[in-house]
């Protein structure tokens, strides 16, 4: 006598991923959230990426239970879900800290000091790449280019930017995070925990007062190329936030007023935080648009 594939606990020729189930109340809550996410897409499988953020917001990383949940909701195999979850580095496969501290060690950041920052934090925190401090506060990792090369070297905490870092400023940053002292990114919205960030990335509203207004667009250094493309006079120099606030010095005439879309928003204003380091090796100003 033979048994069917379903009787043997397999589906579509693939073995089920062994994983404990969510408690009933957690599953019910996640199912309600998942229905809302799936309803945004004409094809349910398109909701996989935000669903993975959703399960990551529940446990701090994407567990086997989370992957099986996504597969159940979307009618996919766990192999299909696993293939996606292991492809994108924003999904963590191991338990992580409240603050994911990512040091960009791609080429530009690396030569501007990113490698030195990473080595400093490894030694200071006593953890390696992808590891979490014993207090569960900080997970350290290499990250790839985050399109902020004009502010290199860049450190990101839960995907918020800390520009123009040095080993000293990065060490102060992680000390502040571990001590629970207020820390503000150089630009972008204020920090929240990794789980809270994952829920926002799943597509749910950012409930923090004022956070949406703090988000905004690119900083002045990033907009130089756009202004050149528009035929405007290039700014001779872009002064970085650590030197008293971002502003551009005109080369031979007053720079035209920025369009409303380019108006600096609140996050572009200088903030005195651990992100600022007056002794940054890049010097007081970087040449742009040359
Ligand atoms: S190389 Fe670091 S942000 Fe681009």
Spell out the per-residue pLDDT of the chain, length 290, in tens: 333 333 333 344 455 667 888 999 999 999 999 999 999 999 999 999 999 999 999 999 999 999 999 999 999 999 999 999 999 989 999 998 999 999 999 999 999 999 999 999 999 999 999 999 999 999 999 999 988 898 999 999 999 999 999 999 999 999 999 999 989 898 877 899 999 999 999 999 887 777 777 766 677 777 888 888 888 876 555 555 444 444 444 444 444 444 434 443 333 333 444 444 444 444 333 333 32
* 180 and 203 together in one domain: no
149 Cβ below 6 A of ligand 1: yes
> What is the structure's pLDDT at 223?
81
Spatial CB neighbours of 28, under 8 Å, sequence gap ≥ 6: none
Cα dist from 160 to 63, 66, 74, 127, 181, whole Å: 24, 25, 30, 21, 17
Is 257 inside any structural domain? no
Examine residue 140 and state whether it is found in any structural domain, yes or no. yes
Q: Are residues 107 and 166 both part of a single domain?
A: yes
Label residue 164 left, alpha or beta by phi (over 0 means left) and psi (-120 to 50 means alpha). left
Same domain, 118 and 186: yes
Please give the pLDDT value at position 225. 81
Within this chain, do residues 73 and 202 fall inside the same structural domain, yes or no? yes
Last residue of a domain, one of 177, 208, 239: 208
Which residue stretches of the chain are H helix? 24-38, 48-59, 64-74, 78-85, 107-109, 115-125, 167-179, 194-201, 211-215, 220-229
pLDDT for position 240? 53
Identify whether 11 is part of a domain: no
232 located within any domain: no
Exposed / middle / buried, residue 21 (Cβ in 10 Å: 0-12, 13-18, 19+): exposed
* Residues 60 and 22 placed together within one structural domain of the fold: yes
- Evaluate: CB of 108 within 6 angstroms of ligand 1: yes
What spacing in Å lies between the alpha carbon of 114 and ligand 1's midpoint? Answer: 9
Residue 125 shares a structural domain with residue 83:
no
**Residue 254: how many other CB atoms lie within 10 Å:** 7
Confidence (pLDDT) at 92: 92
Ligand 1 center to 64 CA (angstroms): 32
Cα 271 to averaged position of ligand 1 atoms, centre (Å): 21
d(CA 268, CA 278): 18
Q: Verify that 55 and 89 share a domain, yes or no.
A: yes
**In this predicted structure, what is the pLDDT of residue 274?**
45
DSSP 282: T
Distances (CA, A) of 95 to 71, 74, 178, 200: 21, 25, 17, 19
- Does 145 sit in the ligand 1 pocket, CB within 6 Å? yes
Same domain, 138 and 108: yes
**Domain match, 118 and 56 both:** no
Last residue of a domain, one of 166, 181, 214: 214
- The domain that contains 161 carries what CATH number? 3.40.30.10
pLDDT of residue 214: 73
Give the DSSP H/E element, type plus range, for residue 271. none
105-138 per-residue burial string, b: 16 or more CB within 10 A, e: under 16:
bbeebbebbbebbbebbeeebebeeebbbeeebb
Same domain, 105 and 187: yes
- What CATH number is attached to the domain comprising 59? 1.10.10.1590
User: According to the model, what pLDDT value does residue 187 have?
Assistant: 81
For residue 234, the model assigns a pLDDT of: 62
pTM of the model: 0.72
Residue 107 structural domain:
99-192+209-214
Q: Do 31 and 161 sit in the same domain of this protein? A: no
Structural domains in the chain (count):
2
CA–centroid distance, residue 117 to ligand 1 (Å): 14
Q: Which atom of ligand 1 is nearest to the CA of 152?
A: 2
């Amino acid at each position: 006598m033979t048994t069917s594939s379903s009787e043997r606990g397999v589906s579509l020729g693939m073995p089920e991923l062994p994983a404990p189930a969510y408690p009933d109340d957690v599953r019910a809550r996640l199912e309600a959230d998942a229905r809302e996410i799936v309803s945004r897409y004409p094809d349910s499988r398109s909701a996989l990426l935000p669903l993975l953020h959703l399960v990551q917001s529940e446990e701090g990383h994407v567990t086997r239970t989370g992957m099986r949940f996504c597969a159940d909701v979307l009618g996919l195999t766990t192999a299909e879900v696993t293939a996606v979850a292991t492809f994108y580095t924003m999904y963590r496969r191991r338990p992580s800290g409240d603050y994911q501290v990512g040091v960009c060690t791609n080429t530009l950041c690396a030569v501007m000091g990113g490698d030195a920052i990473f080595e400093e934090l490894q030694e200071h925190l006593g953890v390696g790449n992808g590891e979490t401090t014993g207090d569960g506060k900080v997970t350290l990792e290499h990250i790839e280019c985050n399109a902020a090369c004009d502010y290199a070297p860049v450190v990101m905490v839960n995907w918020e930017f800390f520009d123009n870092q040095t080993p000293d400023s990065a060490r102060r940053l992680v000390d502040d995070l571990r001590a629970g002292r207020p820390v503000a990114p150089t630009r972008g919205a204020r920090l929240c925990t990794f789980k809270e960030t994952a829920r926002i990335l799943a597509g749910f509203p950012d409930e923090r007062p004022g956070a949406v207004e703090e988000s905004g667009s690119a900083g002045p250094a990033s907009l130089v190329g756009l202004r050149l493309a528009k035929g405007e006079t290039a700014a001779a120099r872009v002064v970085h936030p650590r030197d008293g606030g971002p502003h551009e010095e005109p080369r031979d005439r007053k720079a035209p007023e920025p369009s409303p879309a380019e108006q600096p928003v609140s996050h572009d204003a200088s903030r005195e935080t651990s992100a600022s380091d007056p002794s940054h090796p890049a010097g007081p100003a970087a040449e742009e648009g040359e």
